[in-house]
Structure 1
Amino acid sequence: MNDTPAPPTRRDRRKAQTRQRISDVATVLFLRHGFDQVTVGQIAEAADVSKVTVFNHFPRKEDMLLDRGPEAARLITDAVGDRAPGETPLGALRRVLVERARTEEPLGGFADRFTEFWRLVADSPALRDRARELYQELESVLAECLAEANPERRADAALAAALALAAYRTAFHAAASRMLAGTPAAEVVDDHIAAVERSLRAVEHAVECAVERAADER
């Protein structure tokens, strides 16, 4: 059986290009004028599409800026699903998150230019709420990946996912806060990586201890 996905069609590519153009245009407008000051109509006009097209790609205005949810979900599923032999699911996730931190990619990486984006999110209650929702969605994705990777521990998957992402979010917010206060990205990355390594190892150890304790009590 061949599980290789079919290559995207021309229609798929055009849709992806339109979606990216809308997101790029919206991001520029939000950064320039503020999230609440920009209307969907203005975004549609600047992207040279209809408002219907905008809503077809982004039912929520917040997702035009916070548009990397699907990419983050794939990052998690690929990390767990493609882990090396002998590598634990949370160990694979930790490795991938550390690898991303060493890049300047918008998803998980650090660069001085990101501070303007982070400040925009921090200043908008609507964007902060949507960011929290996205974390919850990713928590569910990770929980399902952990359950599939270790079916006999399905009952522990939700807790492990919640702890792992809470640990990562704490480390990321600490690093982002330092940069928002003026510390260059180059001075933040190593501390962030150390925090991710330390906290996710602690989560994995805590989950293992809880499982062993529960087994002893049965």
Structure 2
Amino acid sequence: MSGRPGLRERKKQQTRLAISQVATRMFIERGFDHVTVAEVAQAAQVSVNTVFNYFATKEELFFDRAEEVEDAPSRIVRERREGESAIDALHRGFLDVVNGKNRKEPWLAARLRPFLATVDASPALRTRGGLMLAKSEHRLAQTLIEESGAPADDPTARVVAAMVIGLERVLVEELQTRVLRGDSDPQIRAALSQIGERGFALLRSGIGSYCTRASSA
């Protein structure tokens, strides 16, 4: 059977994306805190109830890929290669992001600036961003427990997850600071690479081969 979603599911995905795109444009133009869900619904030509059928909160309208972002570290660990530790896999994932691997469009600060400026101007969005990192940390800890076969009450996975997401928080803050002040793409890449390489070196020295995927041979 094909893994492609059916027609009904594709229509739902299209509706969700259309609502999110309208909302994001309005939030960027007017500021997140100055746009109501009712105004988004009117602009998207749907009812308020329809909006809430797809998005539980107003913040989800803006962070429409929150689920994907929160799960990213866990997904990378789950999909790590044979003989690859959790930290090595996460380091590889970091390099892919910084170097723009597998992106259809160039990694440009100019594309991020309106989005990040909107987040910076809204206390609600800044709080939601922090919650996304907290959820990502919790998911990663659970994934590390499952992948390492450790007992549920083993603190190692929680400590490792906190360290990994702590580094991610530093990188996100550095990215936002540099994008908003107008640094060039090469400057931003260089700064993130320097922080990331130092951070992963420290993680590797402390965590080492933790949660390495065994070879099938």
Task: State the TM-score, normalizing by the size of structure 2.
Answer: 0.85
The one of 73, 81, 84 equivalent to 1:84 is 81
Aligned match of 1:213: none
Cα deviation, residue 111, structure 1: 2.5
CA contact (8 A) 1:26 1:64 kept: yes
The one of 52, 55, 64 equivalent to 1:55 is 52
1:188 aligns with 2:185: no
Distance in 1 (CA, whole Å) between partners of 2:79 and 2:18 is: 31
Cα deviation, residue 123, structure 1: 1.2
Cα deviation, residue 5, structure 1: 8.7
- Work out which structure has the larger RCO, using CA pairs closer than 8 Å and 6 or more positions apart in sequence: 2
Q: Deviations over 1:32-77 (max 9, x none)?
A: 1111111111111111111111011111101111122221244323
Secondary structure of the equivalent of 1:84?
coil
Could you list the runs of 4 or more consecutive aligned residues of structure 1 that deviate by over 4 angstroms after TM superposition? Answer: none
Aligned match of 1:144: 142
Distance in 1 (CA, whole Å) between partners of 2:15 and 2:193 is: 35
Task: State the TM-score, normalizing by the size of structure 1.
Answer: 0.85
Cα RMSD after superposing both structures: 2.3
Distance in 2 (CA, whole Å) between partners of 1:39 and 1:145 is: 37
CA contact (8 A) 1:102 1:110 kept: no
Change (3 A) 1:74 1:29: same
Distance in 2 (CA, whole Å) between partners of 1:152 and 1:127 is: 35
Alignment gaps of 5+ in structure 2: 211-217
The one of 61, 76, 96 equivalent to 1:99 is 96
1:12 aligns with 2:9: yes
Distance in 1 (CA, whole Å) between partners of 2:38 and 2:150 is: 51
Distance in 1 (CA, whole Å) between partners of 2:71 and 2:165 is: 15
Amino acid at match of 1:126: A
Secondary structure of the equivalent of 2:33?
coil
Aligned match of 1:169: 169
Amino acid at match of 1:206: G
Distance in 1 (CA, whole Å) between partners of 2:150 and 2:201 is: 21
Which has the higher mean CA deviation after the structures are superposed, 58-67 or 197-206? 197-206
How many matched pairs?
A: 204
Amino acid at match of 1:167: L
Alignment gaps of 5+ in structure 1: 211-218
Cα deviation, residue 113, structure 1: 2.1
Amino acid at match of 1:95: R
Which has the higher mean CA deviation after the structures are superposed, 68-77 or 11-20? 68-77
